[in-house]
Structure 1
Amino acid sequence: MMVLGLVTLVLHGTLAGLFYAFSMSVMPGLRAVDAAAAGTAMRSINRKILTPWLFAPFLGAPVLAVVAGVLATGAAAPWYFAAAGVNLVGSVVVTAAVNVPLNNALEAGRISFDDYAPRWTAFNTARAAATVASLVLVGVALTR
């Protein structure tokens, strides 16, 4: 059970770090260059990021939190379930409802980078906050 909890923690941390890095460095860096070049770079990033290295933490973190909650004994289970819920809503739902449609619009040329970046970054920052919160919840579960 400890190994499952630690893998769950690592997946949540990986995802939180990814979202944090984008909001705090990648997007400000792109906004500091020409919008056309930034749009080209972001479209390339959006294509290249779709790998198992993204999907393992993105989908694995909430799934493993649920599995850990089911298998947990004592007071840990609610913390794992809370982590899964926060991650699911704050990461998976926000991604599907906002960030991916914005990525698709940018790819199709239906939105300029200048219009895309502020909204995408705001919702990405919300994803970062949610995944940091879910990381903390898994950490609390591990102490129970």
Structure 2
Amino acid sequence: MKMTTVFLLVTAVLAALIAGLFYAYSCSVVPGLGKLSDVEYLKSMQSINREILNPVFFMSFMGTAVLLPVTTFLFRGEQPAFILLLLACAAYLIGVFGVTVVGNVPLNDMLDKFDISGSTAEAIQEMRNNFENRWNLLNNVRTAFSVISIILVVCACLWNKQAS
């Protein structure tokens, strides 16, 4: 097996893991959390946001951000795989990584600093109102872009298989 094919397969697996994570959030975690009271919701999101900062998540999230551009570079000159990977790279770096860093992480940081136990019911409700809808919208954006990204990577895999 060629080294470029190995890079492509590892990239596909990592991109699929991230797409699956955001998809699972969008279709199960977010609706489930939405049914909680304000206090339960905020405490749950604080806990989830703290727990996701772990080596397994970073390996797949950052690994995809690194391997997609590297794999794209390795496939330069191999059409249409290069174009598919270039589009997947743009979708991931802008729509997944960028949205997470510029949108979701600042919201997570804001929530992390919020003292639930020392706040009034009104302040808790206001925090949820300021957090939940924006965070969910951004999560749906990165879910869509991560799915687009993995579809493009899979197409590049299929094209690479046919070209071999």
> Which range, TM-score by smaller chain?
over 0.9
Q: Is the counterpart of residue 141 in structure 1 residue 145 in structure 2?
A: no
Structure 1 distance, partners of 2:143, 2:21, is 8
Q: Secondary structure at the match of 1:141?
A: helix
- Cα-Cα RMSD: 1.5
Q: Is the counterpart of residue 74 in structure 1 residue 78 in structure 2?
A: yes
Partner of 1:54: 57
Partner of 2:103: 98
Q: Is the counterpart of residue 44 in structure 1 residue 47 in structure 2?
A: yes
8 A Cα contact 1:62 1:83, kept in partner: no
Structure 2 distance, partners of 1:115, 1:69, is 38
8 A Cα contact 1:63 1:84, kept in partner: no
Aligned to 2:11, which of 8, 12, 18? 8
Partner of 2:117: none
Identity %: 38
Structure 2 distance, partners of 1:65, 1:102, is 26
Structure 2 distance, partners of 1:135, 1:128, is 11
Query: Once the 2 structures are TM-superposed, how far is the Cα of residue 108 of structure 1 from its aligned partner?
Result: 1.5
**1:16-52 per-position Cα deviation (integer Å, ceiling 9, x unaligned):** 1111111211111111011101111110111111011
Aligned to 2:141, which of 94, 119, 126? 126
Q: Which runs of 5+ in 1 are unaligned?
A: none
TM-score for the superposition, normalised by structure 2: 0.82
TM-score for the superposition, normalised by structure 1: 0.93
Q: Which runs of 5+ in 2 are unaligned?
A: 115-122, 160-164
One-letter code aligned to 1:74:
E
Bigger radius of gyration: 2
Query: Once the 2 structures are TM-superposed, how far is the Cα of residue 143 of structure 1 from its aligned partner?
Result: 2.2
Partner of 2:118: none
Structure 1 distance, partners of 2:25, 2:78, is 37
Structure 2 distance, partners of 1:115, 1:27, is 16
